[in-house]
């Protein structure tokens, strides 16, 4: 009988703990995977970028002085994931290293 009471108490304790952690992320955006992003249309991508911008502005407007350390860490990780997703949605760009630029300039000098 004692073990049943302990198991019931443990089950209730764990279920309430899980509900509290889900409630903390009520405003957070769920990041999309690369497969989901590749199947999106341009209008959907633009709408998602606007959602991300709105969430970033909401985070910037927050009073972060009253947040504890764990909440600030969650905000930082959310911002990092949104930045990665926004970069994936934007399609990126062409990145040239300094060495590549020097080689291109030298080739142009040799040709001209």
Span 80-104, pLDDT tens digits: 988 888 887 876 667 788 999 999 9
Q: Using the structure block, give the residue that is written with the tokens 């399609």.
A: 91
Pick from 94, 83, 91, 80: nearest CA to 45: 91
CB 52 within 8 Å of CB 31:
no
Q: pLDDT category, 108, cuts 50, 70, 90?
A: very high
Q: Model-level pTM?
A: 0.52
Is the pLDDT reported for residue 53 higher than 70? yes
pLDDT at 24: 46
């Amino acid at each position: 009988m004692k073990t049943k009471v302990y198991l019931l108490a443990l089950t209730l304790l764990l279920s309430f703990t899980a509900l509290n952690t889900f409630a903390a992320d009520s405003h957070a955006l769920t990041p999309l995977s690369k497969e989901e992003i590749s199947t999106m249309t341009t209008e959907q991508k633009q709408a998602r970028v606007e959602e991300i911008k709105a969430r970033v502005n909401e985070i910037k407007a927050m009073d972060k002085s009253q947040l504890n350390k764990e909440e600030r860490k969650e905000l930082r990780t959310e911002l990092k994931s949104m930045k990665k997703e926004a970069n994936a949605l934007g399609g990126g760009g062409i990145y040239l290293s300094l060495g590549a630029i020097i080689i291109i300039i030298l080739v142009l000098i040799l040709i001209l």
